[in-house]
Amino acid sequence: MTTAQKDPVLVVLQMSGGNDSLNTVIPFTDPLYRDYRPTVGIPEDKALPITDSLGFHPNMGPISDMYKQGNVAIVHGVGYENSPRSHFRSMDIWHTCEPDTLGTQGWLGQVIRDIDPKKENVVTGVSFGPSMFRAMALPGVPVATVDDLNNYGLLTGITEQAQRDRILERYKNLYAQTIGTGPVMEFLGQTGLDALKGADILGVAPQKYSSTIEYADNPIAQKLKGIAQIHLADLGTRIFYSDHGSFDSHSNQLGMHGVLMSDVSVAIQDFFDDLREHDAAENVIMFVFSEFGRRTHDNGSGTDHGAAGVTFVIGDRVKGGEYGEFPSIKVADLQQGDQVPSTDFRSVYSTLLEDWLGMDAKPIVGGTFEKPAFIETN
Amino acid sequence: MTETNIALMAHLMRRASFGASREELEARVSNGYEATVEELLNPEAKEPVDLYDLFRYQPWTWKPGTIQGMGHASWLYRMLNTDAPLQEKMALFWHGVFATGVSKVDHWDEIIDLVDMLREKGMGSYREILRAVARDPAMIYWLDNNENHAHAVNENWGRELLELFSMGVGNYTEDDVRDCSRAFTGWTITPKLPRFPMGRFDWFFEYRDEDHDHDDKTFLGHTGDLNGDDIIDIIVQQPATAQFICRHLYNFFVADEPQVPAWSVTLPRDPEAVDMLAKVFVESDYDMRSVLRALFNSDFFKEARFARLKSPAEVVIGTLRMAGGADFPSPGLGNLARQTGYMGQDLMNPPSVEGWHTGSEWINSGSLMRRTNFFADLVGDVERPGIQAIIVNLKARGDLSPEQLVEGCLDLMGPLEISDDSRTELVSHAAEDGPIQWGNNGNSDHRVGEMLQLIVSLRDYQFA
Q: Residue B363's closest chain A neighbor by CA?
A: A188
Q: Does A177 touch chain B (CB under 8 A)?
A: yes
Contact by Cβ (8 Å): A364, A107:
yes
Tell me: do B191 and B259 sit in the same domain: yes
Tell me: do B248 and B390 sit in the same domain: no
For residue B330, being part of any structural domain is answered with no
For residue A167, being part of any structural domain is answered with yes
Q: Do A192 and B429 touch (CB under 8 A)?
A: no
- Phi and psi at residue A323, in whole multiples of 5°? -130, 150
Intervals of chain B under pLDDT 70: 1, 68, 192-200, 440-442
Tally of domains in chain A:
2
Q: Does A307 touch chain B (CB under 8 A)?
A: no
For residue B173, being part of any structural domain is answered with yes
Tell me: do A56 and A173 sit in the same domain: no
Tell me: do A14 and A160 sit in the same domain: no
Q: Residue B104's closest chain A neighbor by CA?
A: A246
Q: Residue B178's closest chain A neighbor by CA?
A: A336
Q: How confident is the model at residue A85 (pLDDT cuts 50, 70, 90)?
A: confident
H helices then E strands: how many in chain B? Answer: 24, 4
B288-296 helix and B33-41 helix, angle to the nearest 10 degrees: 160
Q: Residue A128's closest chain B neighbor by CA?
A: B366
For residue B308, being part of any structural domain is answered with no
Res. A87: pLDDT tops 80: no
Nearest to A336 among B174, B256, B261 (CB): B174
Tell me: do A183 and A251 sit in the same domain: no
Distance from C-alpha of B217 to C-alpha of B49, rounded to nearest angstrom: 45
Question: CB B8: neighbour CB atoms within 10 A?
Answer: 16
Tell me: do B129 and B189 sit in the same domain: yes
A187-196 residue pLDDT tens = 899 899 989 9
A180: which chain B residues are within 8 Å (Cβ-Cβ)? Answer: 419
State the pLDDT at residue A218.
Answer: 94
Q: Do A185 and B363 touch (CB under 8 A)?
A: no
Q: Does B163 touch chain A (CB under 8 A)?
A: yes
For residue A77, being part of any structural domain is answered with yes
Q: Mean pLDDT for chain A?
A: 92
Nearest to B363 among A87, A166, A191 (CB): A191
H-type alpha helices, B184-287: 228-236, 239-253, 271-283
Contact by Cβ (8 Å): A316, A71:
yes
Q: How far apart are the CA of B463 and the nearest CA of chain A, in angstroms?
A: 10
Q: Count the residues in chain A.
A: 378
Tell me: do B90 and B224 sit in the same domain: yes
Tell me: do A211 and A278 sit in the same domain: yes
Beta bridge partners of A338: A335
Q: Does B267 touch chain A (CB under 8 A)?
A: no
For residue A377, being part of any structural domain is answered with no
B207-265 residue pLDDT tens = 999 999 999 999 999 999 999 999 999 999 999 999 999 999 999 999 999 999 889 88
Size of interface A-B (CB pairs under 8 A): 168
Tell me: do A298 and A248 sit in the same domain: yes
Q: Does A152 touch chain B (CB under 8 A)?
A: yes
For residue A345, being part of any structural domain is answered with yes
Under 8 Å CB-to-CB from B412, ≥6 apart: which residues?
B22, B390, B393, B394
Nearest to B422 among A131, A147, A174 (CB): A174
For residue A267, being part of any structural domain is answered with yes
Decide which of B257, B281, B302 is a domain's last residue: B302
The ipTM estimated for the assembled molecules is 0.89
Q: What is the CATH number of the domain that holds A96?
A: 3.40.720
Establish how many alpha carbons lie within 13 A of residue B133's alpha carbon, considering only the half-sphere containing its beta carbon: 28
Distance from C-alpha of A29 to C-alpha of A111, rounded to nearest angstrom: 41
A190-245 residue pLDDT tens = 899 989 988 889 988 999 999 999 999 999 999 999 999 999 999 999 999 999 98
For residue B94, being part of any structural domain is answered with yes
Q: What is the Cα B420 distance to its own chain's centre?
A: 31
B297-343 residue pLDDT tens = 999 999 999 999 999 999 999 999 999 998 888 888 888 998 998 89
B361: which chain A residues are within 8 Å (Cβ-Cβ)? Answer: 131-132, 137
Tell me: do B427 and B292 sit in the same domain: no
For residue B334, being part of any structural domain is answered with no
Domain of residue B209: give its range.
86-302
Distance from C-alpha of B281 to C-alpha of A128, rounded to nearest angstrom: 41
Tell me: do B95 and B31 sit in the same domain: no
Q: Mean pLDDT for chain B?
A: 93
Considering only residues 227 to 266 of chain B, which have any Cβ-Cβ distance to chain A shorter than 8 Å? 256, 258, 260-262, 265-266
Q: Do B380 and A129 touch (CB under 8 A)?
A: no
Q: Residue B357's closest chain A neighbor by CA?
A: A131
Tell me: do B96 and B34 sit in the same domain: no
CA torsion sign for B394, B400, B406, B407 is: negative
B419: which chain A residues are within 8 Å (Cβ-Cβ)? Answer: 177, 180-181
Q: Residue A131's closest chain B neighbor by CA?
A: B344
Decide which of B302, B336, B364 is a domain's last residue: B302
Considering only residues 164 to 183 of chain B, which have any Cβ-Cβ distance to chain A shorter than 8 Å? 169, 174
Q: Does B211 touch chain A (CB under 8 A)?
A: no
Tell me: do A344 and A272 sit in the same domain: yes
For residue B316, being part of any structural domain is answered with no
B458: which chain A residues are within 8 Å (Cβ-Cβ)? Answer: 174
Q: What is the dihedral of CA B416, B417, B422, B425, to 10 degrees?
A: 50
Between residues A109 and B197, the one the model is more confident about:
A109
For residue A68, being part of any structural domain is answered with yes
Tell me: do B29 and B171 sit in the same domain: no
Nearest to A188 among B363, B432, B453 (CB): B363
A338: which chain B residues are within 8 Å (Cβ-Cβ)? Answer: none
Under 8 Å CB-to-CB from B389, ≥6 apart: which residues?
B21, B23, B324
Tell me: do B126 and B23 sit in the same domain: no
Phi-psi region of B306 (alpha: psi -120 to 50; beta: other; left: phi over 0): left
Name the percent of chain A lying above pLDDT 90. 73
B365: which chain A residues are within 8 Å (Cβ-Cβ)? Answer: 122, 142-145, 191-192, 194-195, 198
Q: Do A189 and B462 touch (CB under 8 A)?
A: no
Tell me: do A229 and A165 sit in the same domain: no
Q: Do B147 and A156 touch (CB under 8 A)?
A: no
Max distance between CA atoms of chain A, in angstroms, equals: 73
Distance from C-alpha of A55 to C-alpha of A61, rounded to nearest angstrom: 11
Decide which of A181, A202, A223 is a domain's last residue: A202
Q: Does A170 touch chain B (CB under 8 A)?
A: yes
Q: Does A159 touch chain B (CB under 8 A)?
A: no
Decide which of B256, B283, B302 is a domain's last residue: B302
Q: Do A16 and B368 touch (CB under 8 A)?
A: no
Tell me: do A166 and A70 sit in the same domain: no
For residue B63, being part of any structural domain is answered with no
For residue B261, being part of any structural domain is answered with yes
Contact by Cβ (8 Å): A203, A191:
no
Tell me: do B245 and B113 sit in the same domain: yes
Tell me: do B90 and B30 sit in the same domain: no
Tell me: do A90 and A235 sit in the same domain: yes
Decide which of A179, A202, A225 is a domain's last residue: A202
Tell me: do A360 and A247 sit in the same domain: yes
State the pLDDT at residue A63.
Answer: 98
Q: Residue B308's closest chain A neighbor by CA?
A: A184
Tell me: do A90 and A221 sit in the same domain: yes
Contact by Cβ (8 Å): B371, B343:
yes
State the pLDDT at residue A1.
Answer: 39
When scoring B140, B259, B269, B369 by the number of chain A Cβ atoms within 10 A, the one with the most, hence best to mutate, is B369
Tell me: do A144 and A265 sit in the same domain: yes
Between residues A132 and A343, the one the model is more confident about:
A343
Distance from C-alpha of B176 to C-alpha of A244, rounded to nearest angstrom: 32
Tally of domains in chain B:
3
For residue A373, being part of any structural domain is answered with no
- Phi and psi at residue B132, in whole multiples of 5°? -70, -40
Q: Do A147 and B429 touch (CB under 8 A)?
A: no
Tell me: do B27 and B129 sit in the same domain: no
State the pLDDT at residue B261.
Answer: 87
Establish how many alpha carbons lie within 13 A of residue A171's alpha carbon, considering only the half-sphere containing its beta carbon: 28
Q: Which residues of B419-433 are buried (b: 16+ CB within 10 A; e: fewer)?
A: bebbeebbbebbeee
State the pLDDT at residue B229.
Answer: 98
H-type alpha helices, B17-83: 22-31, 33-41, 52-57, 73-81
For residue A82, being part of any structural domain is answered with yes
A88: which chain B residues are within 8 Å (Cβ-Cβ)? Answer: 260-261, 352, 354
Q: Does B377 touch chain A (CB under 8 A)?
A: yes
A260-307 residue pLDDT tens = 999 999 999 999 999 999 999 999 999 999 999 999 999 999 998 899
Contact by Cβ (8 Å): B302, B8:
yes
Q: Do A130 and B343 touch (CB under 8 A)?
A: yes
State the pLDDT at residue A90.
Answer: 86
Domain of residue A318: give its range.
9-152+204-365
State the pLDDT at residue A3.
Answer: 42
